[in-house]
Amino acid sequence: MKLAQICGTIASDEKRHEAAYTKIMDKLFVIDPDGAVLALADMMRKRITMPSHLMYDGCDDNIYSHLSAVVQRLGVYTAKDYADVLEFLVGRWKVKNLTGLSAEGRRAQDYVCGLVPKIRMLEERASERAKEALTIPFSWIYDRQVKL
């Protein structure tokens, strides 16, 4: 199987996951808006962790954070992308307009609705810090120096 086919298969699989989770949450926000916003806030507080955070190259204990910095700097997947996705979902589920929530649900609503501006502010700061980024060797590309 060629790399392009593998990437296409992975992308298709990810798209199906996205569609399933989005549709499930669509329904949850209709039948139990309080529970749905509490669950969303809980998930966002715990942060979504990619399985690749466990990767290790046998040399660099911080390989995932270093790779993440490179991916962000190159624009492959950025904090802006993350904020855009979250903004889309919060809008789709009309989180800002939910009514009849418990006190805890209203706090969760405020938290979730405040995340996008916070992420965008952090992205701006990260962009400024990226200008002063370190350069380190990546062992899995033969110790080639890569700017974080």
Q: Are 98 and 37 in contact (CB under 8 A)?
A: yes
pLDDT 10s digits, 114-124:
999 999 998 88
Q: Are 141 and 69 in contact (CB under 8 A)?
A: no
Average pLDDT for 120-136:
76
CB atoms within 10 A of CB 99: 7
Q: What does the pLDDT read at residue 45?
A: 93
Residue 95 has pLDDT above 80, yes or no: yes
How many C-alpha atoms does 89 have within 13 Å on its Cβ side?
23
| Percent of the chain's residues with pLDDT above 70 | 93
Q: Please name the residue ranges forming H helices in the chain.
A: 3-31, 33-46, 63-74, 79-92, 103-130
Q: What does the pLDDT read at residue 112?
A: 97
pLDDT 10s digits, 35-45:
999 999 999 99
